[in-house]
């Protein structure tokens, strides 16, 4: 549908104005925690004149579109795409001031999920929209949504995926992209930004999985799986230039992990996080021609420096450098968030912003080419974040966008880092969030184990789920049990093949610690988690039924042998099926040699031990924890054993609920379930329901 690109001044009002209401409600409405943010991913143009963001509008509430604002003209926001159902999940400013973006669509199909629709560009004013890559040549979704009167170039082809790698400084006619038509091994191409034609830059060759471009945009480093693709080893490869052959620099596994951040200013050395002489990832400067690691530049005695990708809606570790490769800082997740500065000028900038915004953690999320204007996101454990524009030349800092202005940080709860010793002496870290305003002392407690489990961890930051539970009178205990990432390989490996054993004991020991510390009311403790956290919930209910008054299993595993069969039989993709079998044997167990242990740590086999009411939540399209192999057998067993349970299944959801209305329905049902079986002062039991204890 063609639309003119007129100014949409009313749009900004709809997006950033706080909700108008009368008297302040007694507690934050449930819906406010789980409403979609009005803005995501705020970026500034290279010339510093325009700001863009991904947004939802009242006109297109099911889609994610792009909005552009000129600096200083905040009441003249311009919607530059008009998708009705599709979602822009990634975009970036090109060096010529155009916006490049990728469009996906959600499918009601267990084997497809979010699927790539196309790669496009448009000017900041919404004109001259171009289709650069669109593999659905005969699909009626082609070219919808770009506001443009120009002719569009459509590139047909196979059902592929495409993503942005580099903006190629010095070559305004091309960008570097990765393209994959298989699951594991993408190729790299130079994409012509005018007509969508692509020229090869690097071939995945059924070996390479990740490409690293140098500061001139040439692909000269890569991470791959090597010649034997079913083992657990990887290779770091390097070439002098794009005409040279690849040479293996290092072979590594998870124990000796290497993570490449990028090229240094000399365009020869690589910045990497690696495990060399220590169990934990540290920062090094690597010479790829000799394979020699330089001296340790930064390290931490407890935490990995980098290594993790994402926590709860937050990047947990990132290496930030300037366009010429100058390192600026390394950010990582410790008990809270920390930065290691590698550039004194950047440290001065950070100190300036922190002085102006002392109550928040402040991230520089983007800046212009002159380093004159910066986008700053200020956030905390109690604050979902606000975007500011810092103009260094003018010496000004102005609030510009609030993604969730309806949430009041003053009414949220602090997330407190905690640590305790498990029964075998291992140090366990985590977080405790108490109900806001609650007096010190025993309160109802919900243990909330994270998913994964391996390589994932809970981190400090704003978590709407935790804040919701705390607002209803429950303390929330998040435990980074052994097997969690971020604490070194040894701590993660301590969880290998220990599902339902020491990993579960860490959660039990956390509950006992909370009771001994006077934090938790021993008669009012629940357990709730998703994915592996759902498994831990069910395992807690059958292994230590005396501890828990309620359990909530959200897309959780209950039968490990069936999970193995599902995982290995459904992943019929080149280079991954054998690898996944090997991963399973190393991390969870051999289905034959460890058959007894896998049986004994599958909650489905011990449903008769459950004493607490249990809520079971699942998505019918779940591609990871299939509904037929996990959810339905559990419900049949609960019925057969005459257990108290409630169930919620959504037809068009997968491994977790993502649609706003479904999330609100889920947490509304959860609040009612807790009120019935484990009420709190702020979430009282219905008058018609007696205490079940």
- Per-residue 3-state assignment (H helix, E strand, C coil) for 134-200: CCECCCCCCCCCECCCCCCCCCCECCCEEEEEECCCCCCCEEEEEEECCCCCCEEEEEECCCCCEEE
Whether 692 shows a pLDDT value over 50: the answer reads no
Shared domain check, 492 and 424: yes
Dihedral angle of Cα 544, 425, 493, 253, to the nearest 10 degrees? 170
In a domain, 285, yes or no: no
Among residues 373, 406, 439, the one where a domain terminates is 406
Number of H helices, E strands in the chain: 12, 35
Residues 379 and 489 in one domain: no
- Provide the 8-state DSSP code for 363: E
Q: Residue 213 domain-assigned?
A: no
pLDDT digits 0-9 by tens, 433-485: 999 877 778 999 999 999 999 999 999 999 999 999 999 999 999 999 999 99
Same domain, 497 and 638: yes
Coil vs helix vs strand at 128: coil
Report d(CA 176, CA 198) in Å as an integer.
Answer: 9
567 lies in the same domain as 553: no
User: How confident is the model over 88-95, as a mean pLDDT?
Assistant: 89
Domain count along the chain? 3
Name the strand (E) or helix (H) holding 331: strand 327-333
Q: What is the value of pTM for the model shown?
A: 0.90
Torsion angle in degrees (nearest 10) through CA of 689, 670, 631, 639: 0
Say yes or no: 488 and 585 in one domain.
Answer: no
Answer whether residue 183 is part of any domain.
no
254-301 pLDDT, tens digit each? 999 999 999 999 999 999 999 998 999 999 999 999 999 999 999 999
pLDDT at 243 over 80: yes
Each residue of 511-544: pLDDT tens digit?
999 999 999 999 999 999 999 999 999 999 999 9
Percent of the chain with pLDDT over 70: 87
Confidence label for 14 from pLDDT (cuts 50, 70 and 90): very low
Q: How many CB atoms lie within 10 A of CB 154?
A: 17
Q: Choose between 97 and 690: higher pLDDT.
A: 97
C-alpha to C-alpha distance for 172 and 73, rounded to whole angstroms: 28
Higher local confidence (pLDDT), 386 or 76: 386
Give me the residues paired with residue 646 across strands: 615
Please indicate, yes or no, whether residues 496 and 390 belong to a single structural domain of this protein. Answer: no
Q: Does residue 552 share a domain with residue 436?
A: yes
Structure tokens at 279: 């169990």
- The residue with greater pLDDT, 55 or 6, is 55
Q: Which residues, including other chains, have CB under 8 Å from residue 458's CB and lie 6 or more apart?
A: 311, 312, 430, 431, 450, 478, 479, 480, 484
Same domain, 458 and 543: yes
* Gap between the Cα atoms of 437 and 433, Å rounded: 11
Same domain, 516 and 451: yes
Report pLDDT for 2. 30
Q: State the CATH number of the domain containing residue 439.
A: 3.40.50.1820
Judge whether 355 lies within some domain: no
**Is the domain of 522 the same as that of 418?**
yes
pLDDT, mean over the chain: 88
Residue range(s) defining the domain that contains residue 32: 1-153+365-406
- Which CATH number goes with the domain that contains 373? 2.40.128
Q: Is the pLDDT score of 305 beyond 80?
A: yes
CA separation, residue 575 to residues 199, 206, 623 (Å)? 26, 8, 19
3-state helix, strand, coil in the chain (%, to 5): 20, 35, 50
Q: What is the pLDDT of residues 353-369, one digit of tens each?
A: 999 999 999 999 999 99
Peptide bond into 453 cis (omega under 30): yes
What is the predicted pLDDT for the residue at 318? 85
Two structure tokens written together for 458: 């809970």
User: How far is the C-alpha of 8 from the C-alpha of 353, rounded, in Å?
Assistant: 32
- Based on the domain organization, do 454 and 529 belong to the same domain? yes
Instruction: Give percent of the chain above pLDDT 90.
Output: 72
Question: In this predicted model, what pLDDT tens digit does every residue of 168-181 receive, in sequence order?
Answer: 877 888 999 999 86
* pLDDT tens-digit readout, 179-225: 986 657 889 999 999 999 999 999 988 889 899 999 999 999 999 98
pLDDT of the residue at 137: 52
pLDDT in tens, 146-165: 333 222 223 333 357 888 88
Max alpha carbon distance in the chain (Å)?
Answer: 77
pLDDT at 629: 95
Q: Are 474 and 680 in contact (CB under 8 A)?
A: yes
**Is residue 277 a part of any domain in this protein?**
no
Mean pLDDT to the nearest integer, 416-442:
93
Q: What is the Cα–Cα distance from 618 to 653, expressed in whole angstroms?
A: 8
Residue 301, in any domain of the structure:
no
Query: What is the average per-residue pLDDT within 619-646?
Result: 96
pLDDT tops 60 at residue 37: yes
Query: Is residue 96 included in any domain, yes or no?
Result: yes
Given this model, what pLDDT does residue 263 score?
95
- Of residues 17 and 531, more confidence is placed in 531
Question: Does residue 386 carry a pLDDT above 80?
Answer: yes
Please determine, for residue 623, whether its predicted confidence score (pLDDT) is greater than 80: yes
Position 248 in a domain: no
Is residue 252 within 8 Å of 237, Cβ to Cβ? Answer: no
Q: If we measure between CA atoms, which residue out of 488, 475, 410 comes closest to residue 445?
A: 475
Give CA–CA dist 130/150, Å, rounded. Answer: 8
Q: Which of 501, 518, 539 is nearest to 424 (CA)?
A: 501
Q: Are residues 420 and 468 in the same domain?
A: yes
- CA dihedral 178→181→184→188, nearest 10 degrees, is -20
Listed in sequence order, the residues at least 6 apart from 151 whose beta carbon sits closer than 8 Å to its beta carbon are none
């Amino acid at each position: 549908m063609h639309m003119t690109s007129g100014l949409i001044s009313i749009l900004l009002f709809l997006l950033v104005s706080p909700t108008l209401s009368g008297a302040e409600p007694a507690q934050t409405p449930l819906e406010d925690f789980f409403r979609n943010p009005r803005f995501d991913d705020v970026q500034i143009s290279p010339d510093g004149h325009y700001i863009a963001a991904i947004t939802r509008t009242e006109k297109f509430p099911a889609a994610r579109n792009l909005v552009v604002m000129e600096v200083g003209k905040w009441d003249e926001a311009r919607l530059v795409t008009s998708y009705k159902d599709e979602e822009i999940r990634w975009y970036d400013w090109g060096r010529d001031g155009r916006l490049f973006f990728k469009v996906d669509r959600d499918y009601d199909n267990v084997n497809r999920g979010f699927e790539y629709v196309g790669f496009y560009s448009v000017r900041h004013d919404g004109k001259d929209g171009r289709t650069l890559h669109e593999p659905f040549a005969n699909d009626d979704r082609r070219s919808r949504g770009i506001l443009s009167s120009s002719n569009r170039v459509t590139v047909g082809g196979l059902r592929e995926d495409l993503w942005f790698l580099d903006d190629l400084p010095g070559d305004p006619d091309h960008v570097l992209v990765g393209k994959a038509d298989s699951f594991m091994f993408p190729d790299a191409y130079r994409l012509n930004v005018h007509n969508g034609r692509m020229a090869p830059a690097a071939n995945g060759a059924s070996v390479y999985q990740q490409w690293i471009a140098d500061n001139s945009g040439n692909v000269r480093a890569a991470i791959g799986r090597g010649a034997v693709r079913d083992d657990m080893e990887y290779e770091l490869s390097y070439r002098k230039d794009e005409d040279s052959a690849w040479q293996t620099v290092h072979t590594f596994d998870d124990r000796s992990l290497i993570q490449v951040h990028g090229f240094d200013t000399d365009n020869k050395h690589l910045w990497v996080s690696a495990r060399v002489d220590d169990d934990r990832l540290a920062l090094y400067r690597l010479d790829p021609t000799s394979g020699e690691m330089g001296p340790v530049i930064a390290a931490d005695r407890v935490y990995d420096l980098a290594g993790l990708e994402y926590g709860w809606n937050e990047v947990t570790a990132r290496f930030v450098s300037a366009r010429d490769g100058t390192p600026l800082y390394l950010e990582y997740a410790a008990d809270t968030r920390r930065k290691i500065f590698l550039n004194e000028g950047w440290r001065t900038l950070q100190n300036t912003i922190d002085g102006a915004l002392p109550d928040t953690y402040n991230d520089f999320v983007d800046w212009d080419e002159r380093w004159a204007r910066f986008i700053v996101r200020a956030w905390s454990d109690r604050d979902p974040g606000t975007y500011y524009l810092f103009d260094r030349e003018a010496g000004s800092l102005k609030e510009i966008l609030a993604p969730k202005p309806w949430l009041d940080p003053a009414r949220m709860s602090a997330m407190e880092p905690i640590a305790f010793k498990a029964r075998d002496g291992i140090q366990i870290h985590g977080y405790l969030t108490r109900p806001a305003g609650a007096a010190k002392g025993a309160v109802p407690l919900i243990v909330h184990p994270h998913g994964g489990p391996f390589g994932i961890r809970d981190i400090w930051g704003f978590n709407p789920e935790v804040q919701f539970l705390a607002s209803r009178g429950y303390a929330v205990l998040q435990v980074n049990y052994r097997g969690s990432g971020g604490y070194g390989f040894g701590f993660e490996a301590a969880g290998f093949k220990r599902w339902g054993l020491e990993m579960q004991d860490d959660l039990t020991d956390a509950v006992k610690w909370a009771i001994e510390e006077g934090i938790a009311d021993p008669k009012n403790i629940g357990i709730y988690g998703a994915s592996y956290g759902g498994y831990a919930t069910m395992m807690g209910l059958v292994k230590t039924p005396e501890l828990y008054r309620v359990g909530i299993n959200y897309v959780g595993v209950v039968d490990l042998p069936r999970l193995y069969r599902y995982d290995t039989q459904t992943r019929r993709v080149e280079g991954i099926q054998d690898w996944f079998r090997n991963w399973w044997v190393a991390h969870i167990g051999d289905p034959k040699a460890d058959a007894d242990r896998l049986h004994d740590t599958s909650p489905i086999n011990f449903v008769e031990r459950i004493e607490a009411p249990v809520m079971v939540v699942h998505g019918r399209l779940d591609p990871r924890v299939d509904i037929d192999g996990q959810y339905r057998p559990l419900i049949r067993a609960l019925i057969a054993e005459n257990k108290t349970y409630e169930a919620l299944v959504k037809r068009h959801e997968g491994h977790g609920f993502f649609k706003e209305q479904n999330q609100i329905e889920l947490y509304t049902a959860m609040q009612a379930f807790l009120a019935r079986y484990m009420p709190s002062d702020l979430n009282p039991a219905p008058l018609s329901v007696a205490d079940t204890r």
